[in-house]
Chains A and B, each alone.
Chain A
Amino acid sequence: MDTINRANPHPIGYVVGGGLEANLQVRLTVPPQEVQEGSFVVIDSGGWRFYGLVTDLQLGSTNPRFADEQSEERLPRHLAELLHGQTLFTNLAVMPVLMLERGPEPGTEEYRLWKDQHPEETQPVTVKTVPSHHSPVLLADAADIAQIFGEENNQEIFRIGYTREQGHPVCLNLDKFVKRSSGIFGTTGSGKSFLARMILAGLIHADRASALIFDMHNEYGPDSTSSDTGAAVPGLKGKFGAKIRLAGLGARTSFGKLNADLSLEIAQSDITSEDVLLLSQALNLNETAPIVLSALERDFGQDWLHEFLSMETGTTIEDENGKSVPAPNSVEAWAAVGNVHPKSALALHQRLQRLGKSAYLIADPATRGLEQIIEDLEHGKHVILSFGKSNTELDYLLVTNLITRKIRDHWGNSTENFHAEKGKEPRPLVVVVEEAHKLLNREMASQTIFSTIAREMRKYYVTLLIIDQRPSQIYDEVMSQLGTRISGSLGDEDDINAVLSGLPGRSALRGLLSKLQAKEEALLLGWGVPMPIPIRSRRYDNDFWRELLGAQASPKTIEEGNKVLGFDSDDTD
C-alpha cells in the first residue's frame, strides 16, 4: 500500500474548498470530459489518504463576463486558450467518505518511527477531517479500489462489476452482504434479476450461506432465454447441480426439462388464523372475519381450516318437532353453537373456498415438503421454490409467509440452542423475495413475518434479499434496515428517495442514482459496502460462469445438467 506505483500519477485537480457537510470543492486541471460524476478519487494530504466520490461537476468563471463573451472569436486562438485556462474552470464536488492513515513519506526516518508505532496494517475509517487546501486529487487506480472494496478471491470477495470510466474491478464482500438484509432495486429491464442471479451464484459458490429463493416467475432455477436479447440464460440449477434443490408448489410444477427435486404440499393444519388474516385484502374478507376465525381456532384447534372447509352450507334437517333447523355439519349449526353470527361465518366460509381449491393446500399431504425445505437449507443446500401455476398474489403471500414463519421459528430455536451451547451454530440463511412490495408494503409489513426478519432476524442468522422495482412501495422501516442496497436505474423520484433513505449524503447521491444508465449500471450503497460507488455491472454470461466455476464449468446445456443429476434427457417431460 505504501509503495504503490500508481498507473496514473497525474493529479486531475486540487482541493480549493468545501467541507465534510457540503462536499469538497476541487478545481479541475484536466478537461472536464476526463472525469465523470461518480468517479472514485483519492486525495493525499498530511499522511492521510482520503477516498471520495465525485458527485457533481460545475462550470465556473472568475468573472461571469469571461463566460458570457465568446472571446475565442475576438482573440487569437493561443490567447483565447490562455484566457480560458485562467478564467474559466470546472469545479468538482467530491463527497469525502473514507480516510486511511498512511503515515509520513515511506523510506524516511519518520516513517520508520511511525511504522514501529503502527505495526498493523491501517484500515480505512469514516472520514472525520478534510484534506488541506491545494491537496492533489487523483483518479483512483485499481489498487485504491482493491484497498477499499477488497481483492477478488473467487470466494467471499466477489467481483460484482467495474468502475465506470476506467473499468477497475469492484468487489462485494458476501460475508458482510449476508449479515444484514439487503435489497436489489431497479426498473424493469435494468438488469436487476441478472444482478441478483450473479450475486446468488457468488453466494452459492462461496458457500457462505444457504439461500431460499421464492421464484415467482420461475426464472432462477431452470435455463431460460433473455427477454431482451433472446440469448440463452443459464439457470442456477444447471450450474450448481445437487447444491440446488428445485421445489415446486403443488405436485405438478414444471421446470421445463428439469424435474422438481421436491414438491411442496402444505397441510391445512399448518395454516393459522393469522395467515388467513394476512390475506384479508386478497380474499376480500370483511371486518367480522377475525371473530369467526378465533372462534374456529377455539373450537377446532389447528384443524380449524380443514373442519371449516368440510362444513356444508344451507343444509337443513327437521328436528323432532318437524321444524327445519341447520344440519349438524353445516356452518349455520356451528355458528349457532359457537355463538357466532351465521352470516359472518357463511361469508368467511365462502371466501375461504379459494384456499380449499389450492392444489398445494391439502388435508393430508403425502410428503413433508415444508420440513424437507428447512432441513435442506440447514444442511447447506439452496432451495428455489417455484410457484408454477399457483402464482397468484394470494398464493405468493400465503406460501412465502408460511414458510418464512416456519423458518423464523426454526432458526430462532437453533440460535437459542447454540447460545445455550446445546447445538452448533446455525447456517446463515438468505431469503430471496421478489416483488417484495407485495409483502412489505405499508399495510402488510406489520402483519407479515418479513418486516420482523428485516428488523431483527440477523441475530438469528436469517436475512432477506429483497428484489423489487418499486422501493417506494416498501415500508420505510424495512427499507431503513437494509444493509446493502444495490440499485439500478430508477425513474421515479419517490423510488430514488426510498433507496437512499437513512443514508448519509443523500442529496449528493440522488443525482448519481437518477442518472444511471438504463442498463448494466448500478449504484452500490449502504452498510455492506465501504462507500457508495456506481458500477458497470458484470455481465451474466458464459465468461462469468467460467471465471466463477473454473474451466470445467464451461457452458452446460440442460441435457448435461440432467446427466449430472442422474436423469436421462429421455426421462424428462
Chain B
Amino acid sequence: MSGETKILIGKLLRADNRAFVAGCRTKELIAPALGALCKVRLEEGLEIYGLIGNIIINDDSLVRQLVSGISIPTEYTEDNRHNRNLPVEISVLCVGFGQDGKIFHRLPPRPPLSLDALYLCDDAELVRFTSAGRYGYFRHILRLDDQPVEEILTAHLANARLAHAQHGRADWYTGACQELIVLLRDDYEGLMNVLNALAELE
C-alpha cells in the first residue's frame, strides 16, 4: 500500500495460523501497545493482520544477577536497555488478512515467516480493516480462553472508535458494542466483563 505510514515494531520470531510472536529490542518498545492493529506483509501480496494480545519481557541470568544485587548502577540499566541480546516478545493474535486489495476476517491461509517485519497500522488502515464485513474478526478475540479478552477488546475498541470518529463511520462503535452484546448474550459473565471494561471508555 503506497502512502501509508510504516512503523516497524518488530521481526517475527515464531508463528502459526492463529497467532505469531515478534521480537523487538527493549529500547524500541514504545510504539507497540496492547490491542493495537498490526500487520505482516508476505512476499506474494498477502498481508496478515493481527491484534497485539500480549507483550512479554523475558529475564535472563544477567538480569537475575543484577536484580539480586544490592544496588544497580544507572549505566547497567542503560546498558541493559540498549545492548541486551534478548528481545521483547510481542504476541499477536491473527484476526484476518488482505489479498488483492480485499480484507477478509478469516484466519490467513498460512502464517508469516521468521524475520518477517511487523508493522503498526495507522488510523486509515485501522478504519479500512474494521469497516470490512460485519465485525467478523471479533470471533477470533472472543475465542481466547487464556487471555483477558475484555482488556484486549477494550484497548482495540478505544483505538478504533477514535479512528472512526475522525476518518470513518460515526456509528461504528455503537455497531461494535451491539455486535458484542449479540455474540455474548448467552454468556452473562463474559458480556458483563466486556461491558464493564467498555464503560471506562465513556
Contact = CB atoms under 8 A, between A and B. Distances in A.
Contacts of B191: 83
A85 interface: yes
A71 B196 CA distance: 10
A128 interface: no
Nearest to A64: B188
B188 A79 contact: no
Interface of B: 174, 177-178, 181-182, 185-186, 188, 191-192, 195-196, 198-199, 202
Contacts, number: 40
A86 B198 contact: no
A86 to B, nearest CB: 4
A387 B186 CA distance: 71
Interface in A50-108: 62-63, 65-66, 71, 74-76, 78-79, 82-83, 85-87
A76 B195 CA distance: 9
B185 A63 contact: yes
Nearest to A62: B185
Contacts of A74: 196, 199
A86 B178 contact: yes
Contacts of B199: 74-76, 79
Interface in A198-226: none
B185 A87 contact: yes
Q: How large is the interface on A (under 10, 10 to 19, 20 to 34, 35 or more residues)?
A: 10 to 19
B181 A87 contact: yes
A79 B186 contact: no
B181 A83 contact: yes
B188 A82 contact: no
A60 to B, nearest CB: 12
A74 to B, nearest CB: 7
Interface of A: 62-63, 65-66, 71, 74-76, 78-79, 82-83, 85-87
Contacts of A63: 185-186, 188
Closest 9 A-B residue pairs measured CB to CB?
Answer: A76-B202, A86-B181, A62-B185, A65-B188, A63-B188, A87-B185, A82-B177, A82-B178, A75-B199
A125 B17 CA distance: 59
Given A63-B188, A85-B178, 8 more contacts: A62-B185, A63-B186, A76-B199, A78-B177, A79-B202, A82-B177, A83-B195, A86-B181
B198 A79 contact: yes
A74 B197 CA distance: 11
15 contacts: A62-B185, A71-B195, A75-B195, A75-B196, A76-B202, A78-B174, A79-B177, A79-B195, A82-B178, A82-B181, A83-B195, A85-B181, A86-B178, A86-B185, A87-B185
A73 to B, nearest CB: 11
B188 A66 contact: yes
Nearest to A86: B181
Nearest to A65: B188
A70 to B, nearest CB: 13
B52 to A, nearest CB: 25
A65 B186 CA distance: 10
Contacts of A66: 185, 188
Contacts of B177: 78-79, 82
A74 B177 CA distance: 16
Contacts of B186: 62-63
A348 B181 CA distance: 85
Nearest to A79: B195
B185 A82 contact: no
B71 to A, nearest CB: 47
A86 B196 contact: no
B202 A82 contact: no
Nearest to A61: B185
A74 B181 CA distance: 16
A77 to B, nearest CB: 9
Contact of B182 (A78, A79, A86): A86
